[in-house]
Chains A and B, each alone.
Chain A
């Protein structure tokens, strides 16, 4: 079945550096991808919505210059955390819409990636 793959699963970076997280739809074309952030013991909060070939739409309170989202192809979206700080340490998870099966919405499917644990030291 369709799978969304996130890489890396775990990443530790130094404060002030940038880190990129990839979200790939492995066997379907994802016209829309969503990026969520989850702080410890909290729920998932939407950060941004990205549509292939256009600029991402950011949720209120999310710094678009800090969290760069690129959705250059129908199978890949990337989230780059620029100038990371310890408070950016979190679990980041993406979801992609397209394909068949899973959490289907009106014929489209939402699949979640495995998530990426970011620790900024």
Chain B
């Protein structure tokens, strides 16, 4: 069975602080994909990143960075110098070719001014 765990239900930080959102997944597939999505209050899902299981290279995109560690089945997401506009619910998801996504429960991030 596939499962995604996001242990942090809610996180509050003060603007300009760094924050890391944890994601741990379970799958028996040898090939799979991991995603992070942002869901602002309006509800739509905003795609942030996709990572395939063969690519453990960490990635940085502006203030966002991702740390994929296959050995611990984790795909953590760090926001550097957080801003109020980063306030949202963030979902980690696990997917595979031709299959639906399995979403984690989400982490609600509040960035306070």
A interface residue numbers (CB < 8 A to B): 32, 34, 36, 41-46, 49, 91, 93, 95, 102-106, 108, 110, 112-115, 117
Q: How far is the CB of B70 from chain A (nearest CB, A)?
A: 18
Complex interface: chain A residues within 8 A of B91 (CB)? 43-44
B interface residue numbers (CB < 8 A to A): 33, 35, 37, 42-45, 47, 50, 91, 95-98, 100-106, 108
Choose among B97, B100, B102 the residue with the greatest number of A CB atoms under 10 Å from its CB.
B100
A108 contacts B47, C-beta separation under 8 Å: no
Q: How far is the CB of B94 from chain A (nearest CB, A)?
A: 11
Q: Which residue of B lies closest to A57 (CB)?
A: B100
B100 contacts A93, C-beta separation under 8 Å: no
- Determine the main DSSP class of B at the interface with A: loop
Q: Which residue of B lies closest to A42 (CB)?
A: B105
C-alpha gap A113/B96 in the complex (Å)? 19
Candidates A34, A104, A117; contact of B43 at CB < 8 Å: A117
Complex interface: chain A residues within 8 A of B35 (CB)? 103
Q: How far is the CB of B4 from chain A (nearest CB, A)?
A: 9
A43 contacts B43, C-beta separation under 8 Å: no
Candidates A32, A46, A103; contact of B47 at CB < 8 Å: A103
Candidates A36, A43, A49, A91; contact of B105 at CB < 8 Å: A43
A112 contacts B45, C-beta separation under 8 Å: yes
B100 contacts A46, C-beta separation under 8 Å: yes
A43-B105, A105-B33 known; A34 and B44 CB under 8 Å?
no
A105 contacts B96, C-beta separation under 8 Å: yes
B100 contacts A34, C-beta separation under 8 Å: yes
Complex interface: chain A residues within 8 A of B104 (CB)? 43
B101 contacts A110, C-beta separation under 8 Å: yes
Q: Please, could you name 11 A-B residue pairs with CB atoms under 8 Å apart, sorted by A?
A: A32-B98, A34-B100, A42-B105, A44-B101, A93-B44, A95-B101, A103-B95, A105-B50, A105-B95, A105-B97, A112-B45
Complex interface: chain B residues within 8 A of A104 (CB)? 50
B43 contacts A114, C-beta separation under 8 Å: yes
Q: How far is the CB of A114 from chain B (nearest CB, A)?
A: 4
B97 contacts A106, C-beta separation under 8 Å: yes
